[in-house]
Structure 1
């Protein structure tokens, strides 16, 4: 019995750590290496309460939300919708425009197939973005109110995959965390999705869904965003609230990387935001 308990204790951290959530709902850097809260313009619901902005990335007061095996018995979102109370000056709601490419950030939480430090078998099964039809939260992950707007792909994994593939970034899907080996629990991963051109302007609820394995239930994060018809309208909204109006940049386009090292590093925050 003591041996069984000891083995359970050893295995438990890996099980507990295999979760994640969206930290930023409008991040300025696609495929970035390190989290920087100054690059975040929009946040999920109750981000202030869970200290998503100023807390250590990946350890935000247990923000993770996992559905159980009977989705109708547990709410889809971590907290219910209440726009006046779920956002603050420190963690404001995002603003998008039709056709915008939006970057999301999330902690890796040990779940990346990385040959240099972890192995090749960490699964990545499904990564979907939804918008909610209506102003009320959907009951569950299979609700007809959820309209899928993008499949963000899945990262390659498996015992027979080429070692080079697991160490090549950027990747599709959840495991796009280039600095995973430096901090397997808290390394930043990024997704990107596009706001559909046929979406009706106005305030919408968005839902991220990740399934790391078909044997486990989905993880989800919910947030609201004001969607504008044009970038000019979105820019006017952000300018009025003291936010930058620049579009995102891609880390791999703005930096020259040789053997995993940045050559002639730039500071895009200073150069682009101030420009």
Structure 2
């Protein structure tokens, strides 16, 4: 019995602290290891008010927004829509183009099933992206004005899974946090979703919904973004506001990683000598 109580005590802090939010709404690195504020081009609503840009990544717990089990009793978003007050020069609104892959970083806040340093059965239940039909915030998570545009999958978890499965990245769902063991509370995870090709260009509200466990009410983050028909149109806005026009890159595609360590890139001239 004492052993059981001790193991339960180890697991409980991770579960109790499990909450999160979207920190950036247009990040330049997919599946990255460490948060870099310079790679963020767009921010969620009221980011300045909650110090998302200049505070420590993952530490602004007041930005968490968890819905009530009675959806009519709590608003869908942390703050009401007010585009003029929700964004400024330090935390500007994102801009997307049709077909763009958008990367969304979030803090882990202890919620990763990782065989090397955590409780193996920490669950991940639902990770969805919505766009709002109209210019006003929906009443609640069950509103018909929420149009689902992507299911971002769920992460593997469970006592029966191998160490290799639980510690191999990238992962689908919330627990895509490669450096979780270095900082279980504040390490960075990333999602990505694709802007639908049939979305009408214009300004839209986007909503992220995460259910970590069936017994816990959903978490949400809301933001606005100007959607353009083409990358060239989007790039014009970003250039005018001093932002990068690069497409997001994938961390695992531009690094040679062996046993979790970034290796030096191979010198192309050596390849020519060997194969020549």
TM-score by length of 1: 0.91
Distance 1:139 1:9, change over 3 A: farther
Aligned to 2:182: 182
Query: Does the 8 Å CA contact 2:15/2:110 hold for their aligned counterparts?
Result: no
Paired with 2:13 and 2:222, the residues of 1 have a C-alpha distance of 26
**Residue pairs, 1:250-265, within 5 angstroms:** 250-264=250-264
Paired with 1:120 and 1:208, the residues of 2 have a C-alpha distance of 25
Larger radius of gyration: 2
1:162 equivalenced with 2:162 (yes/no) = yes
Aligned to 1:89: 89
Aligned to 1:17: 17
Q: Please state whether the residue corresponding to 1:181 is helix, strand or coil.
A: helix
Paired with 1:141 and 1:107, the residues of 2 have a C-alpha distance of 22
Q: What's the CA shift string for 1:241-262, capped at 9, x where partnerless?
A: 1101011110001111111111
Aligned to 1:62: 62
Aligned to 2:131: 131
Runs of 4+ in structure 1 displaced over 3 angstroms? 8-16
Aligned to 2:233: 233
Unaligned regions of 5+ residues in structure 2, if any?
Answer: 1-7, 267-276
Query: Does the 8 Å CA contact 1:51/1:61 hold for their aligned counterparts?
Result: no
Unaligned regions of 5+ residues in structure 1, if any?
Answer: 1-7, 267-275
Q: Please state whether the residue corresponding to 1:25 is helix, strand or coil.
A: coil
Give the C-alpha shift of residue 9 in structure 1: 10
Aligned to 2:31: 31
Q: Please state whether the residue corresponding to 1:62 is helix, strand or coil.
A: helix
Q: What's the CA shift string for 1:96-115, capped at 9, x where partnerless?
A: 00000000000000000000
TM-score by length of 2: 0.91
Query: Does the 8 Å CA contact 1:174/1:191 hold for their aligned counterparts?
Result: yes
